[in-house]
Structure 1
Amino acid sequence: METKDKPAGPEVPLPSKEESEVPPPSKEEPEATPPPPPRPDYLFLVDVALRFLVFAASLTSVLVMVTSKQTVYRGPFPVRAKFNHSPAFIYFVVALSVAGLYALLTTLACISVIWKPICPPKLLLHFVFLDVLILGLVASATGTAGGVAYIGYKGNEHMMWQKVCSVLDKYCKHIVGALATSLFASVLLVLLVWLSTFTLHKKIRQ
């Protein structure tokens, strides 16, 4: 009885011992890349710069006003002029001192939150309210002191108020310098109100 041999097919290579011991691929998830650091808000940087300028302008105005004094002689009698001889100038010094302190505190507050990814709109709303209040304070003090300085420079013939700046020239130059610096601070505060309002509007729309 004949036996039929099966046709030999292609030989399949058996896996070697080293290949069989290869560990299966790990199923670990790829490491998540850390999120990028938050980018600073450049509007807040401008806000910090403006507030620091308000502080510098207020401090300069107070120092110039406080150092405004002069002594002249009318005959044998000395006539002394100082800022504290006028209630308007005293109010000016107090108002600009408050504005300078406020600008310094808000500058530090802005620096403390400048790197945070989200600035609370409530803080911006407080800035808007306080900026408007300080703007009104500085503007009123500048106008009050400016009215007294104008009378000292021009006088008033109808009220028989004489000019004094022709005699107290050094004193009046200090007053004019303090008023000019406070006017510059008022303009900066107007810009701050606009910037704070725009930033708050931008935060609300997001």
Structure 2
Amino acid sequence: MATAVEKPNFVFPDKFHKPLFAAQISLRVLAFVACLAASSITLANNQTATAFGVVAHARYNYSPSFEFFAYANLVVCVFTILSLVLAVNMAKRVAVDPALYFYMFVHDLMMTVVLMAACAAVTAVGYIGKYGNSHAGWMPICAYLEKFCQRATAASVLAYFGFLFYLILALVSAHRSRHITL
């Protein structure tokens, strides 16, 4: 007895197919640029200062939070390139496998969560560096390491933009995959 092989249900593009993928590709490029800049600034960030006769060195790798932040942004950059290739490929197709829309949603959601964790970690450490914590006896250091703190702030702002771009991508991808019937 031979059984019929089911063909996958391909989704044929509607009138919003090209503009949707143009927006997705633009947002992915913006997220890539923001995360690459945030990572580059963090990896190159260091300063030496003298306060009260004590020499203080500040580098990104002296804090696990800054290391996580830099490497998380690099990981997002690599996966953004992979998703750009997939998005361009999907935009060129006449019919798209519905599973690809779901995979794009999962990817965008994962990158959003990674960026959210990295931004939260660096924001917490940055707050301690800027204001200290009198209850724990931690003194603020940004008055002495101003250049380091300004660059860390710039990197975190760029990463927050990357997070925002990926949040929008996740919402668009979720909306697009919701309309797919399997």
TM-score (structure 2 length as normaliser):
0.86
Give the total of aligned pairs: 168
Task: Tell me, in whole angstroms, the C-alpha distance in 2 between the residues paired with 1:127 and 1:169.
Answer: 40
Is the contact made by 2:51 and 2:144 (CA closer than 8 Å) also made in structure 1? no
Distance 1:52 1:111 in 2: 12
* Separation in 1, partners of 2:113, 2:172: 17
The equivalent of 2:67 in structure 1 is 90
Superposition CA RMSD, Å: 1.8
Structure 1 consecutive aligned stretches of length 4 or more whose deviation exceeds 3 Å: 74-77, 202-205
Q: Which has the higher contact order (CA 8 A, sep 6+)?
A: 2
Of all paired residues, the percent bearing the same amino acid is 23
Q: Distance in 2 between matches of 1:174 and 1:200?
A: 39
How far off its partner does 1:77 sit? 4.8
1:111 equivalenced with 2:88 (yes/no): yes
Conserved 8 A contact 1:48-1:111: yes
User: 1:204 is paired with a residue of what secondary structure?
Assistant: coil
SS of residue matched to 2:81: helix
Q: Is the 8 A contact 2:38 2:158 kept in 1?
A: yes
Question: 1:148 is matched with which residue: 80, 102, 125?
Answer: 125
Hey, which of these two has a bigger chunk of helix by percent? Answer: 2
DSSP-derived class of the 2:95 partner: coil
Are 1:162 and 2:139 counterparts?
Answer: yes
Q: Name the aligned partner's letter for residue 61 of structure 2.
A: N
Which structure has the greater CA radius of gyration? 1
- Do the aligned residues in 2 keep the contact of 1:43 with 1:199 (CA within 8 Å)? no
* Deviation of the 1:131 alpha carbon: 1.2
Cα deviation, 1:18-41, whole Å, max 9, x if unaligned, reads xxxxxxxxxxxxxxxxxxxx9862
Q: Which ranges in structure 1 are unaligned for 5 or more consecutive residues?
A: 1-37
